[in-house]
Amino acid sequence: MGVKDRRRSVSPGQEWEGRNLVDFLLSRFTYQNREQWESHVRERRITLNGEETLPEAVLRRGDEIGFLPPEREEPEVPRDWRLLLEDGDYLFFYKPGGLPVHPAGTYQKHTLWNFLEPAYGRLHLVNRLDRETSGVVAAARTPKAAAAAARALGEPDREKTYRVLVEGKFPEFADAEGWLAPNELSPVRKERRFLTEAREGAERCRTRFTLLRESGGVSELRAELDTGRTHQIRATLKSLGFPVVGDKLYGPDPEIFLRFIGGGLTETDRERLRMNRQALHCERLSFRLEGGRCLSATCPPPPDWYFGERL
């Protein structure tokens, strides 16, 4: 990949006028911390309107920020994705944990989207899963089919069911209905928290959790989503007192995530996490298209799904 292919640019919205450059980068691109973004500026990887700049630069309306990421080898990723179902313009795939869905940040070529192209051409992925989450991903062959699926996934009769492992002994059932909002108490800017009362800027959410089994201080749950908010399952469970096994952001200690993005996870951190990824798996995805046609795919948890004595 050449310099031209690696260069990225973005224009801040007018609400950032008069505010700090690095603050914007931290807010928009959360995969790096303040020290890393300041280092990129000083190393002349960040430009402001095509010119070198400083970390304390103040943004103005119409500014364009450029970023040239350092050239480096992309991390290896699991490649054991597979086709679950093909039905006309729609395909359903199993995505392993650790494989990104779309190009972003460090991962530009090692993504499900890129791996699918040689066999299926350029597909339009309908739903997203976090890199560490495994499970069902739906795709469409055309933009029109993708738009129809997106509308169907917004209907109340669609199904999104997850399997999740959590720390602690979970009750037989919990109907968690409330709101998700930024966690202003966390050192990690993108962390959210579940609230039982509405507040300005919060998003309504609802997840129903059913206990499947419990052993050795770990509970396995089925999570059924009524809404599909960012980090909904993980943030809700953390706020309820049952963090997801292996979750670096919503796990037992938010400092673990900061050490993780800095490449400094300790052996103690790994022992506390139990798994090398978050124990979240999209087990079933189902939606009904206009005209009544129903599409669905189910996929059991993969071999790295540890439980009880195997943790």
The domain total for the chain is: 2
> Would 142 be classed as within a structural domain?
no
- Is the distance from CB of 273 to CB of 245 less than 8 angstroms? yes
> Would 185 be classed as within a structural domain?
yes
**Residue 73: partners with Cβ closer than 8 Å, 6 or more residues away:** none
> Would 105 be classed as within a structural domain?
no
Domain that holds residue 62: 3-67
| Strand ranges (E), the chain | 8-10, 46-48, 51-52, 65-67, 82-87, 90-95, 124-125, 134-140, 159-167, 173-182, 192-195, 203-215, 218-225, 280-288, 294-298
> Would 207 be classed as within a structural domain?
yes
> Would 264 be classed as within a structural domain?
yes
Instruction: Map tokens 């979240």 to a residue.
Output: 280
- Is the distance from CB of 248 to CB of 131 less than 8 angstroms? no
> Would 51 be classed as within a structural domain?
yes
Q: What is the pLDDT of residues 104-153, one digit of tens each?
A: 877 889 999 999 999 999 999 999 999 999 999 999 999 999 999 999 99
The CATH code of the domain that includes 189 is: 3.30.2350.10
Q: What is the pLDDT of residues 79-90, one digit of tens each?
A: 999 999 999 999
The pLDDT-based confidence of 307 (bands split at 50, 70, 90) is low
The pLDDT-based confidence of 5 (bands split at 50, 70, 90) is low
The CATH code of the domain that includes 30 is: 3.10.290.10
> Would 87 be classed as within a structural domain?
no
